[in-house]
Structure 1
């Protein structure tokens, strides 16, 4: 690998609303981040991307100020762990963004110069809310004073649950996110594009839930080839045209029993958590570029969620022509399309969840009962 290549690490993690974001939980948070970085702890990367789904409770995701405070905390923790792993190196935040309970951070090595960052947020949830959606970040970067690259990272959480109607909704979510990025980022598809997150595609029709070794290579290949929704969707529809994925050789990442390394067999174990790549010339052999594509071991510190994190480490060649806006720090632009209905729904979800969190509903019920007693007995 030559120095003109870009070394990129991407991690996606559905936290089931339980990630320890409280500033007082730094030790626990550091253990988790160390595990997320474990597979490539021996060699520093140019870019580290972290995508989180369900980082916090749904109601907190309705308040950007809360979510932004969490990404600030996350960045400090990630930077601290990276500094511990690579004491001779320095790191900086290229950009962070949230929509609902989805969050993404892009962190760069100190040798990387940021020329431009464009951001985009898309809501795909019920009534245009942020219960589901995606974040796009298009980064034009330069390293070592001359090696240029443009990278678009799209972190998403698509429609959940099984059934044909939800498969259709997942395709619609994907298309909505990509269409919005088309509008905001222009010619970004001429460069490196990653689409990742909890895509929520399931294994269906597999009836051997209790006697299957999901780590067996033949079983993995059989499930992916014959029973997996995403593989079928990619072959049957143009939605995911030109996106490729490194070979999967790890067990399904969902659904686990919390506090355990065992699957919850109320659901068919599935590869919900994925990282897709769109090569500029559509001819790249992703397996030759990929250093690591795997799930992260389900150690006790990661058993607070029913998902396993997934990570990709990839070496990307410099393109012959790369959009370079300027040699100085360029603009950071964030776009969330005006949506009166979505804004209103998010506010309702946020304050309803906040009242429930404070257990105010118990107070309201109590006051209502007292009112009834007053009417009927006084």
Structure 2
């Protein structure tokens, strides 16, 4: 019975291929895809992850957000090879599809990754982070909320919050309290204009079905004949819908209609409910902000690494940002360079950046031309090791690096005070001598 129910929804998913992005959208809009996945301490399986990203049309997005819960302790403690981690799997695929890691945050076993196309980096003014711990009275963050705010140059913000709420059907009130504790992370401050602050909140929120037995839930699911009937069932039995109606959690957020079956609890490696828990919609994505439009909301039942299915939402964000935003740090074009010559670059500060936000903790890095992860330069040095020079009437800063092997590279300037890149060079080639 339970296998037949879930296999029916899996077959429906397979027949109905992933809908493409709305091609009628404004060209100035940004396409944002968000994925939340409780990985149940499992190791990454790149084949399934890449299949997920391809099926969900992530390559066409401008920004891709990945929220993972329950990373294994071996990965958290560095016992897993760097190239075999979940982050490495996502970074590798995103880099191949033209996106770089804009920023990331972690809280115990929770990881939040935000990828973006390089042309978006110049629109980012600053990145902030906040977190709230809920496990063991706030001592640990295995259950909790972390958030990253991407502050844009037009004084608007995109906030991405990821949560792993407390479990169990009887934990309804605890989850409501955890929501209010986590709300402090979404930059809902009095001095911040909510109209300019768009928020996407995703994660394993652990809201359960507590009014039906497991068998009763199977019977109700088996009777579902349409998308509208599925959403009506969610509205009737889901704790999150109840919390929103009662004003106890997420009452000021939106959620697209749910047309997919529960995403927990699944037999690992299978597409069947395990029958030990009442099937529930634990994994959710909510949002608020007039600049956000949710165009797509579903699960993906072809990924069977965990006892959860991943949930995906696609948004259109009214960016209205000009491509004319200039970097605060501008690199001089790099001339033809040979690998036998120690590498030198020159750059200048614009818009009074150094006076407003400069720090000797800032650093300059050399990266592969795609800049897959700004935290992993091939070579880097602190700004304090650079020196000034004057060429004609222009004042420039010079950075000297060791020799670079042949290849295609970019330079980037990282601001400690703004927690993001403030300048990226054009690609340049280094060739072997002779």
Task: State TM-score, norm by structure 1.
Answer: 0.70
- 1:69-218 aligned within 5 A: 73-84=85-96, 86=97, 90-113=98-121, 114-128=124-138, 129-141=140-152, 150-163=157-170, 166-182=171-187, 187=192, 189=194, 190-207=196-213, 208-211=216-219, 212-213=221-222, 216-217=225-226
Q: Is contact 1:94-1:106 (8 Å) kept?
A: yes
Structure 1 residues 91 and 188 mapped into 2: Cα distance closer, same or farther (>3 Å)? Answer: farther
Describe the superposition over 1:94-124 as per-residue Cα deviations: whole angstroms up to 9, x where unpaired.
1111111000100111111232110112211
Aligned equivalent of 1:253, options 236, 258, 263: 263
Q: Which has the higher strand share?
A: 2
Q: Which has the higher helix share?
A: 1
| 2:30 aligned residue | 6
Q: Is contact 1:119-1:333 (8 Å) kept?
A: no
Structure 1 residues 72 and 304 mapped into 2: Cα distance closer, same or farther (>3 Å)? Answer: closer
Aligned equivalent of 2:297, options 290, 293, 311: 293
Larger of the two Rg values belongs to structure: 2
Q: Is contact 2:38-2:310 (8 Å) kept?
A: yes
Describe the superposition over 1:66-107 as per-residue Cα deviations: whole angstroms up to 9, x where unpaired.
79x8699444432332344x4xxx322111111110001001
Deviation at 1:44, TM superposition (A): 1.7
Task: State TM-score, norm by structure 2.
Answer: 0.62
| 1:52 aligned residue | 68
RMSD over aligned Cα atoms: 3.2
Structure 1 residues 76 and 141 mapped into 2: Cα distance closer, same or farther (>3 Å)? Answer: farther
Structure 1 residues 184 and 16 mapped into 2: Cα distance closer, same or farther (>3 Å)? Answer: farther
Q: Is contact 1:33-1:81 (8 Å) kept?
A: no
Q: Show structure 1 runs of 5+ residues with no match.
A: 21-27, 335-378
Q: Mean alpha-carbon deviation: is it higher for 221-230 or for 154-163?
A: 221-230
Q: Give the secondary-structure state (helix, strand or coil) at the position aligned to 2:65.
A: strand
Deviation at 1:242, TM superposition (A): 1.6
Residues of 1 paired with 2:225 and 2:50: CA distance? Answer: 27
Aligned equivalent of 1:36, options 52, 55, 62: 52
Q: Give the secondary-structure state (helix, strand or coil) at the position aligned to 2:230.
A: helix
Q: Is contact 1:7-1:46 (8 Å) kept?
A: yes
Matched, 1:314 2:330: no
| 2:5 aligned residue | none
Structure 1 residues 117 and 249 mapped into 2: Cα distance closer, same or farther (>3 Å)? Answer: same
Q: Is contact 1:71-1:105 (8 Å) kept?
A: no
Q: Show structure 2 runs of 5+ residues with no match.
A: 1-24, 330-413, 421-434
Deviation at 1:219, TM superposition (A): 4.5
Aligned equivalent of 1:226, options 232, 236, 242: 236
Report which structure shows greater RCO (CA 8 Å, sep ≥6).
1
Structure 1 residues 235 and 303 mapped into 2: Cα distance closer, same or farther (>3 Å)? Answer: same
Residues of 1 paired with 2:69 and 2:145: CA distance? Answer: 10
Residues of 2 paired with 1:253 and 1:275: CA distance? Answer: 13
Structure 1 residues 141 and 39 mapped into 2: Cα distance closer, same or farther (>3 Å)? Answer: farther
